[in-house]
A and B are shown apart, each in its own frame.
Chain A
Amino acid sequence: MAHVSLAVRLVARTFAGKTNSLSCMTRWFFSLSLFAAAPLWGSDTLVDRGAYLVRAAGCVSCHTNPDDHDNGGGGFLAGGRALRTPFGTFFSPNITSDPQYGIGQWSDDDFLRALRHGIAPDGSHYYPAFPYTSYSRLRDEDIRAIAAYLRTVKPAAAANLEHVLPWYLWRGAVAVWKGLFFEPAGFSIAPDKDAEYNRGSYLVAIGHCSECHTPRNRFGALDSSRFLAGAKDGAEGESAPNITPHRSTGIGKWSVDDMVYFLETGALPDGDYTGGFMSEVVDDSTSHLNNEDLKAMAVYLKSLPAIHNPDFAEKQK
């Protein structure tokens, strides 16, 4: 372990203050030194890795429509799921390999632009309901793996639905919003932390936990000063609890094991079971991850600053 962090520190010093083109290189180098040490996503082929990453990044819940009860649920990754938010109702698109209705014709570069920059192949901007704000942290090679996997997903001839939004949220407004609130961040490794922490940090980032668990300002941008401190009035009118280690308003009393068990099963330490969106997240995403990765996420979450959030004070008995 020591040699890894030493290598990271050395590289960090070497490239500190250098320009963007170099940051790609540092990212590549970091990923070699840090991620290569652990079995990478527990599998070896590009497609398998992509399949695992699609679970880890939580793509399935939104891109598969669970509400299509008459048809026993929509096709896998065929979109059409309504996401009701304070800003309007978004319908997820079809991301199966269908060349006409899905994204079967996308190149790797199309994936890179979509996930890192929030830009569609036709050049239009995606609404940030598609969490590229988080996916911009995905490493290039992971985006390529996701692309490789999605090309193998059974095509579904399901046409995309139009979002239902107020008049002022036309696509052009998204460009302004992105100018103000979005920077394609990439993932930066914390050189003073170990591989488990960094892996957890990466998984929490691409799992886009903060899209629900961090409160937003009135423009819908995340308030990073209250990272994962819980948010009321989220999508579908659900609130997302404080998952910082605050003892009375967050999950400070949970052990790492409790967190792993929760992400695996949806069971809370008091015997209750999660519901709503989070049970979809457990079903479609976290329960598919290996224990090492869940533990990394838990270790990372435990290390966050504890933030008090009166909205999630313990219920009066």
Chain B
Amino acid sequence: MKFILKSLPLLLFILPALSVADEAENQIKYRQAVMKAIGGHMGASALIVRGKISHRDQLKAHADGLLAMSRDIPGLFPEGSDFGETEAKEILWERWDDFREVSDKSKTSIENFVKAVETGSEDDVVAAFREVGKGCKGCHEDFRQKHEHNH
């Protein structure tokens, strides 16, 4: 009993710190899940745009999904979510304005993709999709560091 009472102040000190760490981990998990959702729509769209499969009528749903998931990409990277199992590089927070800029560009390219899917020609769709991919790649180039696993 005495021991518990004695360690109480210490516990009070540690618990909030633990929950902060927990919150950061959850932020990272959420971010990775959203990125996976974006990747899922990109992978599905690529198969359709490349003419590998025939679900053209589904493309709008994928494009809308992409847009919904990427409205606020910087919001997925709050301060403090830079430690733990993340592949985001420190530099993302150091060059926050650059990061915000490329995120905004990506969003615009996805909006254009949605428009192309709705009203554009097949060539427009292909070109717009390429631009979306450039956004993904550009951001991963500067701000993501993959460690030891596939790709």
If over half of B's interface residues share one DSSP class (helix, strand or loop), that class is named, otherwise mixed; here it is helix
- Write out the residue numbers on chain B whose beta carbons fall within 8 Å of the beta carbon of A273: 42, 133, 136-137, 140
Query: A123 an interface residue at 8 Å Cβ cutoff?
Result: no
Shortest distance between the CB of A172 and any CB in chain B (Å): 35
A237 and B145 in contact, given A265-B137, A279-B138 (Cβ under 8 angstroms)? yes
* Alpha-carbon separation in the docked complex, A274 to B138 (Å): 9
Q: Which of B16-24, B43-51, B73-81 contacts A (4 or more CB under 8 A)?
A: B43-51
Closest A residue to B50 by beta carbon equals A261
* Alpha-carbon separation in the docked complex, A269 to B133 (Å): 12
Query: A88 an interface residue at 8 Å Cβ cutoff?
Result: no
Please tell me the size bucket of the interface on A: 20 to 34
Query: A312 an interface residue at 8 Å Cβ cutoff?
Result: yes
Contact pattern, A 233-277, Cβ under 8 Å of B = 1, otherwise 0: 000111101000000010000000100010001111111111110
* Alpha-carbon separation in the docked complex, A268 to B47 (Å): 11
- Write out the residue numbers on chain B whose beta carbons fall within 8 Å of the beta carbon of A270: 39, 43
Shortest distance between the CB of B130 and any CB in chain A (Å): 7
Shortest distance between the CB of B50 and any CB in chain A (Å): 7
Contact pattern, B 113-151, Cβ under 8 Å of A = 1, otherwise 0: 000000000000000001001101111110111111111
Closest B residue to A264 by beta carbon equals B130
Contact pattern, A 79-93, Cβ under 8 Å of B = 1, otherwise 0: 000000000000000
Contact call A232/B148, Cβ cutoff below 8 A:
yes
Which listed residue (B46, B139, B147) contacts A271, Cβ 8 A? B46
Closest B residue to A314 by beta carbon equals B150
* Alpha-carbon separation in the docked complex, A315 to B147 (Å): 11
Counting residue pairs across A and B whose Cβ atoms lie within 8 Å, the total is 87
Query: A48 an interface residue at 8 Å Cβ cutoff?
Result: no
Contact pattern, A 298-315, Cβ under 8 Å of B = 1, otherwise 0: 000000000000011111
Query: A282 an interface residue at 8 Å Cβ cutoff?
Result: yes
Contact call B151/A274, Cβ cutoff below 8 A:
yes
Contact call B141/A276, Cβ cutoff below 8 A:
yes
Question: Which residues between 82 and 130 of chain A lie within 8 Å of chain B, taking CB atoms?
Answer: none
* Alpha-carbon separation in the docked complex, A241 to B44 (Å): 23
Query: A293 an interface residue at 8 Å Cβ cutoff?
Result: no
- Write out the residue numbers on chain A whose beta carbons fall within 8 Å of the beta carbon of B138: 279
Contact call A271/B150, Cβ cutoff below 8 A:
no
- Write out the residue numbers on chain A whose beta carbons fall within 8 Å of the beta carbon of B84: none
Q: Add 16 more A-B contacts to A237-B145, A265-B137, A272-B42 (CB < 8 A).
A: A239-B148, A261-B46, A266-B133, A267-B46, A271-B39, A271-B45, A271-B46, A273-B137, A275-B139, A275-B141, A275-B146, A276-B145, A276-B146, A311-B148, A312-B148, A313-B149
